[in-house]
């Protein structure tokens, strides 16, 4: 029943010969074929099936797709002058601290009112050439400090409140979308000017007074005004909009408020 040692030795040698006859490369090839399915590019296979179905293919990861994120520079060279206006008060934020935009022109409609010499000195910087450029709101070119660019339609505008001159704004006119400033009264002033969309020369006042902040602790009721006009530099002063006594009181109140803010 038990095999002798010689028989066992012969069987071991025969197994070793069988093992030596195994084709290792063939086995590796079989394994490669078995694992080939797991190495497919799923996107390419998906595109192949879409093409066979007549559906346009989408880009594969190997195809480079780039998107331009750099904004195109403004074409300042190809712009034309639409009008010439005084522009000021658009960059002041929150509660303005000075009333240069109003005081610089106070002598035009208040001959007896004292004119602030410092404010008068800003008039030269307020002169702007209104150039048409298809941009949101407005832009400025550092190389052309006397120009302002926007969707201007001709003419000028001036906006102010009857309580204080610190909220005064003078702009080039864009009747379809008036220029928007940055202080607390800017939106209401721009909406008021928009009501004059079909008016070439005229003014409008808000139907009711609303609270207007003059400092952190002071807010008073004020009415908003807007005027539009045609012609170069026509927005120097809101002429014949308020009676002389009213305008004198406005100038006095504006002067007192500025002195209070400065203390």
Q: How far apart are CA 111 and CA 114, in angstroms?
A: 8
- Residues whose CB is less than 8 angstroms from the CB of residue 227 and which lie 6 or more positions away in sequence, other chains included: 157, 158, 159, 202, 203, 204, 235, 238, 241
Inter-residue contact 90 to 182 (CB < 8 Å): yes
Which stretch, 34-38, 68-72, 171-175, 233-237, has highest mean pLDDT? Answer: 171-175
User: Is the dihedral angle over the CA atoms 149, 150, 153, 156 positive or is it negative?
Assistant: negative
Q: Please measure the distance between the N-terminal and C-terminal CA atoms of the chain and give it in whole angstroms.
A: 122
Stronger pLDDT, 7 or 156, i.e. the higher one? 156
Inter-residue contact 218 to 66 (CB < 8 Å): no
pLDDT at 245: 45
Q: pLDDT tier at 159 (50, 70, 90 boundaries)?
A: very high
Q: How far apart are CA 162 and CA 171, in angstroms?
A: 18
- Residues whose CB is less than 8 angstroms from the CB of residue 97 and which lie 6 or more positions away in sequence, other chains included: 166, 261
70: which DSSP letter?
A: S
- Residues whose CB is less than 8 angstroms from the CB of residue 101 and which lie 6 or more positions away in sequence, other chains included: 88, 89, 92, 126, 165, 168, 169, 170
- Tell me whether residue 133 is exposed, middle or buried, using C-beta atoms within 10 angstroms of its C-beta: 0 to 12, 13 to 18, 19 or more: buried
Residue reference for tokens 């002063």: 237
DSSP string, 205-239: E-SS-EEEESSSS-EEEE-EEEEEE-STTTTS--T
SS3 240: coil
Q: What is the pLDDT of residues 32-84, one digit of tens each?
A: 666 555 545 666 777 777 677 665 555 655 555 555 444 558 889 889 999 99
Stronger pLDDT, 162 or 28, i.e. the higher one? 162
Stronger pLDDT, 170 or 78, i.e. the higher one? 170
If you average pLDDT over residues 19-37, what whole number do you get?
66
DSSP string, 74-125: P--TT--EEEEEE-BSSS-EES-S--HHHHTTHHHH-TTSPPPHHHHTTHHH
Q: Is the pLDDT of residue 116 over 50?
A: yes
> Structure pTM?
0.62
Angle at 86 between CA 81 and CA 90, to 5 degrees: 105
The two structure tokens encoding residue 218: 């002071």
């Amino acid at each position: 029943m038990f095999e002798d040692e010689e028989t066992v030795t012969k069987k071991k040698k025969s197994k070793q010969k069988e093992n030596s006859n195994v084709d290792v490369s063939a086995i590796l090839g079989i394994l490669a074929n078995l694992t080939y399915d797991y190495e497919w590019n799923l996107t390419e296979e998906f595109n192949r099936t879409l093409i066979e179905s007549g559906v346009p293919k989408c880009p594969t990861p190997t195809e480079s797709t780039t998107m331009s994120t750099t904004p195109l520079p403004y074409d300042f060279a190809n712009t034309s002058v639409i009008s010439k206006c005084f522009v000021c008060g658009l960059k002041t934020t929150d509660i303005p601290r000075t009333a240069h935009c109003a005081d610089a022109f106070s002598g035009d409609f208040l001959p007896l009112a004292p004119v602030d010499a410092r404010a008068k000195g800003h008039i030269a910087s307020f002169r702007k050439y209104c150039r048409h450029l298809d941009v949101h709101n407005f832009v400025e070119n550092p190389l052309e400090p006397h120009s302002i660019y926007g969707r201007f339609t001709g003419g000028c505008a001036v906006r102010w409140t009857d309580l204080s001159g610190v909220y005064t704004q003078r702009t080039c006119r864009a009747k379809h979308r008036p220029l928007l400033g940055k202080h607390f009264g800017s939106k209401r002033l721009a909406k008021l000017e928009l009501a004059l969309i079909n008016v070439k020369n005229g003014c409008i006042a808000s139907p009711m007074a609303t609270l207007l902040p003059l400092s952190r602790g002071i807010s008073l009721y004020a009415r908003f005004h807007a005027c539009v006009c045609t012609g170069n530099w026509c927005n120097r002063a809101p002429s014949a909009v308020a009676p002389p006594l009213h305008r004198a009181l406005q100038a006095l109140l504006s002067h007192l408020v500025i002195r209070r803010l400065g203390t």
